[in-house]
């Protein structure tokens, strides 16, 4: 059997992308490649800029031509459809928006090819864009395993390209709800930092680096308790773990976050009722509340909102009573999401 040949993709650098890092630009223009995958191709000398090899941090000028050679993927067993519920928030011929439940992995990764949301999507019988690769049908963004909320998928290649460009251009407005430790949160703040991997632990990220990609998060306080606050976060950029990192490094880690904060109130904290309520959160109390985008077909503005999941809802009820619902409604509309 003749081995499959590599595919070559050509990128013409637009004026709006001039000065962008080579690895970042490749990942933005080729949605099926992550930034780490782009970096591997650069290191394997499979990327040329105007016929020359360049490092991954090279700032690409306008008008340059980038050639990216993508080798065929190694043979792997095909993904198996697995039945499971899909919490559909919105659907048409181009777009599907789901409410992702906490604890659900979005797509297969190293070591596991089952039990993911993608396996459920395959079992639904729907068709999705293939631009992200066979393991990521329709995916134009992702949510962490323990983060709940709105997940947007493209059902056609046209929709995938249009939505990917909106994420790249930062025109999609994302609103998250986070329950954080510490009641002395500012009414409003904009957290801006460089952003990169944490020295000594490449799986974690930090905003305390001298050099890195810019990360910007706008945060507003919705309501305060004795030991915590419910905040609304608008990430202006889309860095991995950005909201969790920015909130933790601002002194208000997300409740239940074992990676970027202590997770729960310190022993001996008061009031005890609030401590007990917060300790019921067994995962990071972060919820992708709403997402606003331009529809790929007609450019109309659409907003999709995901109901607050039961575990977070019960914790908020125990801490704030019904006050959090009216406080949130004053900002966004009915807190139930219905």
Q: Measured between alpha carbons, how far is residue 132 from residues 81, 147, 161, 202 in Å? A: 18, 21, 10, 24
Cα Rg, the chain, nearest whole Å: 21
Q: Is the dihedral of CA 133, 139, 140, 145 positive or negative?
A: negative
User: CA-CA distance, 37 to 39, in Å (whole number)?
Assistant: 5
User: CA-CA distance, 204 to 189, in Å (whole number)?
Assistant: 24
The structure tokens listed for 51 are 């016929």
The structure tokens listed for 302 are 């659409």
The structure tokens listed for 276 are 């007990």
Q: What is the DSSP letter of 50?
A: T
Those residues whose C-beta lies under 8 Å from the C-beta of residue 2, and which sit 6 or more positions away, are: none
Question: Which class for 3: exposed (0-12), middle (13-18), buried (19 or more C-beta within 10 A)?
Answer: exposed
- Which residue in this structure is represented by tokens 């729960």? 264
Give the residue numbers marked as catalytic.
Answer: 144
């Amino acid at each position: 059997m003749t081995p499959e040949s590599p595919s070559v993709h050509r990128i013409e650098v637009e004026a709006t992308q001039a000065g962008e890092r080579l690895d970042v630009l490749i990942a933005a223009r080729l949605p099926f490649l992550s930034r780490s995958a782009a970096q591997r191709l650069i290191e394997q000398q499979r990327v040329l800029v105007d016929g020359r090899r360049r490092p991954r941090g090279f700032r690409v000028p306008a008008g340059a031509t980038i050639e990216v050679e993508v080798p065929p993927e190694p043979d792997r067993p095909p993904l198996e459809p697995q039945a499971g519920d899909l919490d559909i928030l919105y659907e048409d011929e181009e777009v599907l928006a789901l409410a992702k439940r906490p604890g659900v992995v979005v797509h297969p990764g190293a070591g596991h090819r089952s039990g993911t949301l993608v396996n459920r999507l395959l079992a639904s019988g729907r068709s999705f864009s293939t631009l992200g690769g066979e393991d990521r049908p329709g995916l134009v963004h992702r949510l962490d395993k323990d983060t709940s909320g709105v997940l947007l998928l493209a059902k056609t290649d046209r929709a995938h390209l249009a939505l990917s460009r909106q994420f790249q251009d930062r025109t999609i407005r994302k609103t998250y709800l986070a329950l954080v430790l510490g009641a002395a949160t500012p009414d409003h703040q904009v957290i801006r930092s460089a952003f990169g991997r944490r020295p000594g632990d490449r799986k974690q990220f930090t905003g305390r680096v001298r050099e890195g990609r810019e990360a910007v998060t706008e945060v507003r306080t919705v309501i305060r308790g004795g030991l915590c606050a419910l905040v609304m976060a608008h990430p202006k950029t889309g860095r991995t773990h950005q909201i969790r990192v920015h909130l933790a490094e601002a002194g208000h880690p997300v409740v239940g976050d074992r990676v970027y904060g202590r997770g729960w109130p310190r022993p001996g904290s008061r009031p005890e009722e609030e401590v007990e309520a917060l300790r019921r959160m067994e995962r990071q109390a972060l919820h992708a509340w709403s997402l606003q985008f331009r529809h790929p077909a007609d450019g109309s503005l659409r907003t999709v909102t995901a109901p607050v999941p039961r575990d977070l809802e019960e914790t908020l009820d125990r801490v704030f009573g019904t006050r959090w619902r009216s406080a949130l409604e004053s900002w966004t509309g009915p807190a139930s999401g219905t």
